[in-house]
Every structure is written in structure tokens, then in C-alpha cells.
Structure 1
Amino acid sequence: MISFYRSLYTLCFCLIFSGQLMAQDANYWNSSFGPGGLLTPGATIVNDRDSGLYYYNPALIALHPKNSVSISTSVYQLGQYNIKNGVGMGKNLKSTGVQIIPLMVSGNLFFKGKKTIALGYSLVHDPVGNYQVTQRSDKKMNILDNSYSPGDENFVGQYAAHNKISNTIANGSLAVKLNENWSVGLTLEAKLRSQDYAEQYSARALINGDDTGNEILPMTNMQSSYQINYWNIGVRFKFGAAYEHGPHHLGVVITAPRLNIKGNGTITNDLIIDDLHAIPGSSLILNVLGNTRQSGLPIKYRDPFSIALGYGFDFGNGGEFFLTGEYFAKIGRYNIVNPQNTTFLRPDNESNRNLTNELLQFNEQRKSVTNFSIGIKQALSSKLIGYASLRTDFNYNDNGVTVDSDFNGHHPNTATWNTYHGQFGINVKRRKGNLHAGLLLSYGSTNRFVQPLNFDTANEENQLQGFASTTNAQYLSAGVLIGYIFNL
């Protein structure tokens, strides 16, 4: 009998914990500062002649060095997520937000001797995603078995989720100009990642009476709340090389996997099931109580090995063309946090404790992807330069979440679509520096997003969560970038 209840618990919890939420958080090239950007100062791995910048490719710092250069860049961004019929027909999940993002501050120094040596530093803030939604369903429908609750029941379902992720990256670089054509560089990158993830939902149906006139009806209730917040500090190294000869420019950046330094996380989870007929037509009634809070948990977060290649060509009249690609290796399944097998389900016994890690774990796995970008820079006058670039931002999520998938843990990255970015802007040359300004656009969509819940088909068989189906999801973002490069 114990093994039967354990199997029943596991079956129910696999359904109960199979929900998901999303943000633009499973894409490597979502940041404007990277090899796929062009408008953001320094966001290229081949020369773009804006001397003195802190470049994504450290080798470029020494190519055309200049002392005491600082970059201050801000993005004013509007982003919107829209999941059509997210938890039922007409029950869309929408998230809209406006952010003012201080993106970058940097500077560098160079020393000229037999070899030109340059030192650089930067502080970059990258708000990966901020997704917040709520939705509710209130209707009369046939939820419970007619053998004990005939007719349509009063049903109320409610859903809320948020997922906020940000990265703050500090870089220090050393670059050496070997000769007129070659330079090499090394960057030590320290990254602080933080995430606040939560999903809460409840589903309740009043059990119909027996025509006795009793106005206080019993209730079948299922509610769950899962929340994790954590921070993690890690470091990784980047090696860069740059070559230029006449109108041709080449660049390569090799990035090592992330080395974890320290992290800390807290998980809270609450679960209640009241008077649920777990097996239709059976007299077996399921009542479950689960509650836990685990703090001080060590955090492990991974970034993969990657290699980026770029080519630039000067086509005359102040024009330059750029083509860049970056390959990211796959990452096998791993746990970002491993919850302890302590008390969660009641009664507190060994069988229930052995389920705690399985039900609370937070994990991910990533497939290998390759992104590409194309850009152009054109002198419009002696003081005005125009920029335009397009880049892919392919999704790396590989957790296999489908309509019929079994529960395999909670995942931080559940966006299921590719995103595409465009940048269009100008650079105004000033006596003491350069002013960058432009428009940033992003768009992504899919018709295979798996609903976290579907209140339209809620019944006892699916623990009042409904049978999830695929639906359309869309992300759209527009922002204005303003940056100033100051040369002393």
C-alpha cells in the first residue's frame, strides 16, 4: 500500500509541478554589447575605427589605443510578451515593461615601448528579462465526477508568474600590438547573475450538494506556490586576436566556460490538495500538505565554451561592412541548485523526504547554437556616421518541455522561440569624443509554446490544471540607445 501511495503522489506531483514560465532568457545574443551588435560602442570583434573604445574583442584595445577613454551608454527600452490563450481561451498572458538601463562604463590606458601594451576595464549591466503576468478564470463547468457532484460546479482558477534575471559583468583586459597587422588580448570577466523566479496557481471547485438546501458546500482545492531567488558569481577568460591589412579586418574571440566562485539561493514551496478524487470513479480521496523553505543553498551556474569569428571590409568613401558568427557548445543537464531531502510533504517520513529534491530541483540543459550578424557603417559627412546591423538570437533551451512531457524539474530558461535584433543609428563626432544614438528593435515568436495550465479543461484526472496544449507566443521590444565616448 505504501508503494501505491508513493506512485500516486509521484503521478500527481508530476502534473502539479509541470507548469512553466518564460522570459527572453534562453538566448546568448540578447545583449546589445556583443559580437552581434554594432551601434553599442565596442560591440564588434573586428576594427571599426572608433579608437580608444573598450572592445568585446580585447585584442582591438591595442590596435588603435588612446588614453583615458570612458563610455557611458543608456538604453530606454519598452518590451512586451504576449502568450495568446495562455491559460485558456481568451485568457492571454501579457507582460509589458519600461526600463531605463545604464549599460556600460569603461576606460583604458596604453603604454608605448617596443610593443604597444593596452589595459582596459568595463562594467556592463545586462537585464536579461523581466516577465510578470496574472490571469484568472471564474465559471460554471463540469469539473468533478457526477457520481458525487452532479451537474456543473462553480470553478475558480488563478495563475501568477514572474521571472526576473539580470547580469552585471566586470571586465579587465590586457592587449599587446605585435606589429602593424596583428594584436592579441586576454580578458578576465567576472559575472554576477541574479534571478527571481516564481509561479503560483490555485484551482477550486465547489462540490454540488444533494438538494438539501445547504448553502455551505464542500470544496475540492489544489494550490501550489514555488519560488526561488539566487545570486551567483563566476569568472571566465576570453582570448582575442585581430588582424588588419589594407581594407581587410579579421577578428577571433575564444571564450572559456564559466568557473563558479560563490552563490547563494533560497527556495520556498507550498502545496495543498483537499478532497481530490485522484482516480475517477474511485472512492480514494487525496489530501496533501507540503511546505518548505530552504535557504543558504549553494548555486552552480554554467556558461559554455564559445568561439566567434568576424570579418570586416572597407569599401571606400568611409564605408565598412561586417560579418560575424559565434558558435556556442552544448551543456548537459545539471542542477543550478540541489534542494536538500528534508521535510516537505507531510507526514514527515523517509518515503516523502526522498521526493523533496526531485520536486524542488532547479535545472537546465542547453543545445549548441550558432548565431550570425551582418552590419554596415557609412560616413554620411565629415562628422556624421550611420550604422545598421541585424543579428540572429537562436534559442538554446533543450529541456524538452512538450505537451506530453514528464516533470523533470523547474527550469530557469523556458522561452521556446528564436529572436531577431536590429540596430539603426548614428555617431556624431565631437571635439572631445563621439555621441552614439539609435534605435534598437527585437522580435520573436512561436506557435509551439506549451501552456503552463489550461483552466478550460480542468478536471480531477489532471488535478484541476487542465490538459495543456500549444499556443502562440510573441516578444517585441523597442529601445533608444544614447552613449557618449569621451577622449581626454
Structure 2
Amino acid sequence: MRYLYLLLMILPALPAKLSAQDANYWASSYGPAGYFMPGAVISQNRDSGVMFYNPALLVNTEGSTTSISGTIYQWQSILYKNGLGTGLNLKSQGTSIIPMVASRAVPMIKRKLPFTLAFAIVHTPIIDYGVSQQKDVVQDVLDNSYSPGPETFIGQYKAANRMDQTAVQLGAGWRAGKKISLGFTAEAIMQKQTFTIDYIARALMNPAGPDTLLAPITTVSEDYTATYWQAGLRARLGLAWEISANHHAGLLITTPTVKVAGKGTVISNVQISNLYLDPTIALNLLASSRQAKLPSHWKNPLSIAAGYTYIHKKGQLYFAAEYFAPVKEYSVLKPKPAAFIRPDTGNNNTSSEFLQLNDARRALVNFGIGASYQLAGDFVAFASLRTDFTYDKGDIHSVTEGYNINVTNWNLYHAQIGVNMRRKWYHLRTGLMLTYGGTNNYPQTFNLDKPDESNFLLGEPGVTKAHTFQAGVLVSYIHNF
């Protein structure tokens, strides 16, 4: 996002970016390093009963199984210290109940078919973020040549970003040799996002004469909302290798997402009233646009994951890593050229550059480690740690026009601990998930410490501290038929 769209190509301005958890690939508990979740592994995990993330492991399913996993309670807090200026923190906090994975695996061997089929529905809540803040003070904001003394100043800011994915998967695994098995998963993904930024600053002028009631109000406002949905397809190609009875390895390649359908809408308004950049000339400007049924172009990159499992007498030790390819800068939503500045000046009076929703991703590798240990009786303990590095490029100048798709830019670290109870007809897992991440160099969007005409009442953004913390209770139930 730019300062008021570079004042719509008529005034110079500085770039700023609103950057929580939507710029990370491994935030979901269901993934290559979510060792606690049934099926969330690349190489062998004999205890889970459902081995679905790498479809090559489906061949180890001895009987039909049905699994449902989710977070029955999750609390998340995201804090930007002095996010809007000194003492003006931005905080997003909430709780949720999230069903994440429901799957069924059916060996076809009894039907004389040499493979196992599995079906799953996976819901991934990427982020549900919302912040608001206000500064209401008497402060010297406007030049004393036309507004002597401190003015009544009110600055309000709110932002929201909600993004989630729902995927339907159909997978098959079969043996390609005595120690090698292969698998294939076809996945249909629905991605949805709503992104909003709303800012308004007002300063009540102090008139030089007695006409207090006629004193004009200097106003600068900007609001932007983009929404879209997109349906796409991707595939997973898996391999599992039984090196020996104790050593197992796996490989999984996930293709980029191919768009099938998708539409979006953007709406934006910018208003500047009675802003005196020169003591004798007032700037008044209005820009407004709404465009619907825009084609969406959300992308997800190629990834390659590898895993290794060592099986010992009391349990397993598991390692995983996944590489994600970079994605060059592109527009998720790119509005068509249309009238934006009102009235029409005939010069660069279009909205396509200013209203686009952008995305760009750097290449990265995440790592995870997990372990299980046989306790007394039918109880098995699980623990795992994993990195979740951000794909945000970290350059606040990388997007010079429009808005960034994400609102986070720091690395996360996840831990899971839990216990599995084994019975003849079912497995029941319960556990705890903890997440932490933060940065000392988070770029502010606005800073209301010193708003004035020279910065269009937006202040002088700098960097500040930001961090997130999450805690959740995980439950998985596997029924064996």
C-alpha cells in the first residue's frame, strides 16, 4: 500500500506495508511436521492408523479406518507494540473451535485390487485478524500561519484480514516393489479471503478571527476492501521406502495450484479536504471506485518434502523438511482501468494500479522433528517441534502500488505434545499445541505521533515490535473397522 495511492500520482509519498500468520506455510497442525495429527507424516508412522498426507503410506493401512481431527479450543493473540504510535497498540485476539481433517481409508485388497483408497476433507483457517485504534487529542497539527495553536485531532484506524482454505482430497497408494510404495492424491482447493484497511484523520482548524463555528475541518481518509474466492486443483506424488525394519524414508512432491474458477471485488475511497500544503492553497481531492466480478489469480508454489523415521523398541523418532519454491510478484486481483479520481482530470485517472491486491513469496525450507514413546499399557506419548518461516520477502518497498495480500512478516515456531490411547476399535489422541513468533522490525503503516500537512496527517511510519502467541487443545479420533 502507498501513502494514499501516491496522492494519486500528483504528490510524492512514502511506501508502507501492513504486514500475523498468513505468510507461513506450516501453520496448520496437519502437515509434514504435525507429528501428532494422524496421517501428517512423509515417512512411516505405524501408530496413527491413518497415513494420508503422503499417499504412498496408504498401503500400510490393514483395515478400513475413519479419522476426524480438530482443535476443540484455540486462543490466539497478535500484538503490535505502539502499532499506530506511542501508546497506541494494535491487538487482535480471539478464540475458536476448528474442525480440520475428516478422512477415510479403505484397502481394496479384499476386492483383489492392489491399492488403498482414501478420501478426506481438510479445512485450514489461515488467519482471522482484526485490529482497531484511535487517537483523540489536542495537538499542534496544522501550520500556525492559518490555524494558530493546537488543534483537536482525531485519527482512527482499523484493519482486518480473514483467509481460509477448504480442500477435498482423493488419494491412492500401491506397492511398487517389496520395499517401495507409491501414491497419488488429487486435491481440489477453495481459497477465500477478505482484506480491509480503513483510516481517517481529522483536524479542526483554529480560525484567526472570531468565526469559530465556521472553522473548516482538515480531513484525510482512505478505505480499501478486497474480497475473492478461487477454486483450484493440485496433485501430490508420494514415495515411501522401507530401508530396513527400523529405518524408513519418504518423499512427497506437491504441484502448484492450477486455477479452475475465481472471482473478486475491490472497493476503495480516498478523500482529502482542506489540506494546506501551502498556507494559501487548499487541497481537496476525491477518488472512488468499485469493481466486481474480477478474475482472481491466487497462486500456491511447488513444494518438495522429505521425511525419515527411525523405529525403536519403544517408539519412533521422526525428521521432516519441506522446500517451497519462490513466487514472483503478481496481482491476485487486478482491477481494470476505470475512472477513479473525481472529477475526471484526464491524466492518469484510472484505478487499476492503485487498487490491485499483490502477492510475492521467497523460497524457503522448513524443518520438523517428532517422537513417540510407548508408555504403560496402551498409551503412547507424542511430541514435536517445527519451524514455520515466513515467505514474506521482508522488503517494505517490494510492493510499490496497491496492497499486499498478507498482514504478517515474521517466523513462527510450533510445539505439540499429547497422548494416544489405543483400543481394539479406536485410537483417541488429545494434546496441546503452542505457537510463538515475533519481530523487532515490523514496518508501521501509520504513526500518529507527529501528523501534519507534510505527511498528509499520516505521520512518519517507522518500525516497531510485533509478536503472536497461540494455544490450542487438539483432539483426534480414529475408528477401525
TM band (smaller chain): over 0.9
* Pairwise CA distance, 1:477: 0.1
Contact map agreement 1:241 1:251 (CA 8 A) in 2: yes
1:210 aligned partner, one-letter code: A
Opposite residue 250 of structure 1, the aligned amino acid is A
Cross-structure match for 1:443: 436
Q: Which of residues 220, 223, 231 in structure 1 aligns to 2:221?
A: 223
Is the Cα–Cα contact under 8 Å of residues 364 and 399 in structure 1 kept in the other structure? Answer: no
Where does residue 396 of structure 2 map in the other structure? 401
User: Cα offset for 1:39?
Assistant: 0.7
Aligned counterpart, 1:357: 352
Q: Which amino acid aligns with 2:479?
A: F
Counterpart of 1:482, as a letter, is: V
Q: Residue 329 of structure 2 corresponds to which residue in structure 1? A: 333
- Where does structure 1 differ by over 4 angstroms across 4 or more consecutive aligned residues? 11-15
- Tell me how far 1:234 sits from its aligned partner: 0.9
Structure 1 gaps, min length 5: 1-5
Q: Which amino acid aligns with 1:435?
A: L
> What is the CA–CA distance in structure 1 between the aligned matches of 2:372 and 2:28, rounded to whole Å?
20
The match for 2:172 is 174
Q: Does 1:468 align with 2:461?
A: yes
Q: What is the one-letter code of the residue matched to 1:275?
A: N
For the residues of structure 2 that align with 1:139 and 1:482, how far apart are their CA atoms? 49
Moved more, 101-110 or 282-291: 282-291
How do 1:318-397 and structure 2 match up within 5 A? 318-354=314-350, 356-397=351-392
1:406 Cα deviation (Å)? 7.2
- The residue aligned with 2:95 is 98
| CA root-mean-square deviation | 1.9
- Structure 1 length as normaliser, TM-score? 0.93
Per-residue deviation at 1:238? 0.8
1:94-140 deviation per Cα after TM superposition (whole angstroms, max 9, x unaligned): 11110100111110211227873011110011100111111000112
* Residues in 1 aligned to 2:103 and 2:241: alpha-carbon distance in whole angstroms: 24
Query: Comparing 343-352 with 178-187, which one deviates more in the overlay?
Result: 343-352
Q: How far 1:54 sits from its partner (Å)?
A: 4.3
Q: Which amino acid aligns with 1:473?
A: A
Q: In structure 2, what is the equivalent of residue 10 of structure 1?
A: 9
Query: By how many angstroms is 1:274 displaced?
Result: 0.2
Looking at structure 1, the residues matched to 45 and 308 of structure 2 have their Cα atoms a distance apart, in angstroms, of 11
Kept in 2: contact 1:446–1:474 (CA 8 A): yes
| 1:110 alignment counterpart | 107
Instruction: Establish whether residue 291 from structure 1 lines up as the match of residue 284 from structure 2.
Output: no
Alpha-carbon distance in structure 2 between the residues aligned to 1:415 and 1:7: 23
- 1:270-289 equivalences under 5 Å are 270-278=269-277, 281=278, 283-289=280-286
- Residue 349 of structure 1: CA displacement? 4.9
Cross-structure match for 1:53: 50
SS at match of 1:353: coil
- The answer to whether the Cα contact below 8 Å between 1:62 and 1:110 also exists between their aligned partners in 2 is yes
CA displacement, residues 237-265 of structure 1 (integer Å, 9 cap, x when unaligned): 11000011210010100111110111111
- Contact 2:394–2:409 under 8 Å retained in 1: no
Q: Deviations over 1:17-76 (max 9, x none)?
A: x55434310000001000011111111111110364142101001133422433343441
Asked if 1:454 corresponds to 2:447, the answer is yes
Relative distance call for 1:441 and 1:13 in structure 2 (3 A) is farther
What is the letter of the counterpart of residue 417 of structure 1?
W
Match of 2:476 in 1: 483
Partner amino acid for 2:471?
Answer: A
Task: Please list every run of 5 or more consecutive structure 2 residues that lacks an aligned counterpart in the other structure.
Answer: none
- Alignment of 1:420 onto 2:418: no
Residue deviations 1:216-244 (CA, integer Å, cap 9, x gap): 42111001110011111111111000011
The DSSP-based 3-state class of the residue aligned with 1:36 is coil
Aligned-pair CA distance for 1:179: 3.3
Alignment length (residue pairs): 475
Give the Cα separation in 2 of the matches to 1:116 and 1:9. 64
**Separation in structure 1 between the aligned mates of residue 246 and residue 51 of structure 2, nearest angstrom:** 22
The residue identity in structure 1 corresponding to 2:182 is V
Pick from 168, 173, 184 the counterpart of residue 186 of structure 1: 184
Q: TM-score, normalised by structure 2?
A: 0.95
Aligned partners of 1:57 and 1:253 also within 8 Å: yes
Residue 263 (structure 2) pairs with residue 264 (structure 1)? yes
- Residue from 156, 159, 178 that aligns with 2:157: 159
Give the match for residue 240 of structure 1: 238
Structure 1 pair 65–283 and aligned structure 2 pair: CA distance change class (3 A): farther
CA contact (8 A) 2:71 2:472 kept: no
**CA distance 1:41–1:68, change in 2 (3 Å):** closer
Quick one: distance in 2 between partners of 1:332 and 1:108?
37
SS class of match (2:395): coil
Would you say the 8 A contact 1:395–1:417 is kept in 2? yes
The structural deviation recorded for 1:166 is: 0.5
Letter in 2 for 1:345: I
How many Å apart are 1:313 and its aligned residue? 0.2
- Determine the structure 2 residue equivalent to 1:38: 35
Q: For residues 406 and 110 of structure 1, what CA distance do their matches in structure 2 show?
A: 49
Matches of 2:472 and 2:19, distance apart in 1: 21
Please give the secondary structure, in 2, of the residue aligned with 1:215: helix
Taking structure 1 as reference, are residues 224 and 7 closer, same or farther at Cα in structure 2, changes over 3 Å only? closer
Over residues 345-378 of structure 1, what are the superposed CA-to-partner deviations in whole Å (9 max), with x where a residue is unaligned? 1113542433x11110111110001000011110
CA deviation after TM superposition for structure 1 residue 8, in Å = 6.1
Q: Is the 8 A contact 2:45 2:51 kept in 1?
A: no
Alignment partners' CA distance in 2, 1:163 and 1:44: 30
Residue identity over aligned pairs, in percent, reads 39
Is the alpha carbon distance of 1:7 and 1:107 closer, same or farther for their aligned partners in structure 2, counting shifts above 3 Å?
closer
